[in-house]
Structure 1
Amino acid sequence: MERAVNPKSYTLSLNKNIFYIIALMLFLSSCGARKYTVKSDTKASRAADAMANLQSKPLYRFITDWTGVKYRFGGLDKGGIDCSGFAFLLEKEIYGITLPRISREQANVVKRKNIDNLKEGDLVFFSFGGNDVDHVGVYLNNGFFVHASTTRGVIVDDLNLPAYQRVLVKSGSVN
C-alpha cells in the first residue's frame, strides 16, 4: 500500500531545504569575501611607504636585496654584515662614494646636517655605548633609515623612535 504524499507539506519541506542551502551558501561565501586590511599607521606600512617613495630605484633594489641579511661584526657579505660595512657597500655601489670602513671614521667625513634637512642617502650616526659613534645607518625619507641591526639584520627602521632619538649623535652628507 502506497502512502499518499501531501503536496502542500512536500512543497513546504522543499522550500525550507532550499532556504537552508541558500543561507549556508551565503554564509560560506561571506567568509571568503572578507577583506583584510593593514592599518595605514603601522610602522611596517610606513616603512613600506618610505621604500616606495625612494627616488633611486637602484637604492630600492639594493635595500630589498640585502633586507634580512643577518648581522655579523666585521661582515661584508650576504653571510653577515655589520652596520658600517652595509653603509660602506651601499654608498659605494649606489652613489660611487668610498667611505672609511668603520662607523666612527665614517662620521669624520660627513658634513653635519640638521635631521630635518636630511636627504636620501645621507648618513645617521648613533652612540649606543657612550660618547663615541658606534652605529651608522643610511637615511631614506620621511624619518626612515636602513641599517644593519645587531638583533634584526638589515632592516628599514623609524628614526623617530625614542630608542634612536636618545642615541643619535650626528647626521649629514659625505663631504
Structure 2
Amino acid sequence: MTNTTKRQGQAKLLRSFRKIHRTTGALLFVFFFFISVSGLLLGWKKHSGGLILPKSYTGTSTDLKDWLPLDSLHQNACRILHDSVAADLSLDLERIDVRKDKGMVKFVFADHFWGIQLDGATGQLLHIEQRRSDYIEKIHDGSVLDFYLGTSDGQIKLVYTTIMGIALLIFTITGFWLWYGPKRMRN
C-alpha cells in the first residue's frame, strides 16, 4: 500500500467519523442539552440552600425506643399532606426515609413531588417539602416521560438511557478520532 493510498484511506475514515459525529450531535442536541443542565443542577443540589434539595430537619430524640410507631407517623404525614397541600393528592408512598441520627422520618409520596418530614418521637411536622431534586433526576434519566405517561416498568427510561449511552460512546470514539486522526496523518 502506497503512502498516498494510505493517507487517502485515513482522510476518508476521518470524514466518515466527522459526519457521524455531526449527525449524532444534530439529532440528539435537545436531549444532550437537558442531560447537561439537569446534571449540573443535580451536582449542585446539596449546595443550593434548600432550593433544589430540601434541608433535613432535626427531631427531638435519636433514640428509637422514644419514637412513635411507623404506622402512626404515616397516618400523621398523610393527614398533614391533605390538610396543608391538597386534599386530592394521592397517598401512595415512594419511600420512607428513617433518619435516626436526626430524629426524623421523611415520607416521600410516589404520584407527586411532595414530602413530609416528621419528628420521630412526637409526630410533629418538621417540614413540608417540594421534591425538586426528584423531578430533576427524572428529567435527567428520562423517567419523567414514564411518570407522565404512566408506563409500568420504565420502558421509556430504558430506551432513553440506552440511546443516550450509545450516543455518548459514539461521541467519545468519533471525537477522539477527530482529534487524533489529523495528528496521525501529519506523521
Normalising by structure 1, report the TM-score: 0.31
- Quick one: higher RCO (CA 8 Å, sep 6+), 1 or 2? 2
Normalising by structure 2, report the TM-score: 0.29
More strand by share: 1
Q: Return the index of the structure with the highest Cα Rg.
A: 1
More helix by share: 2
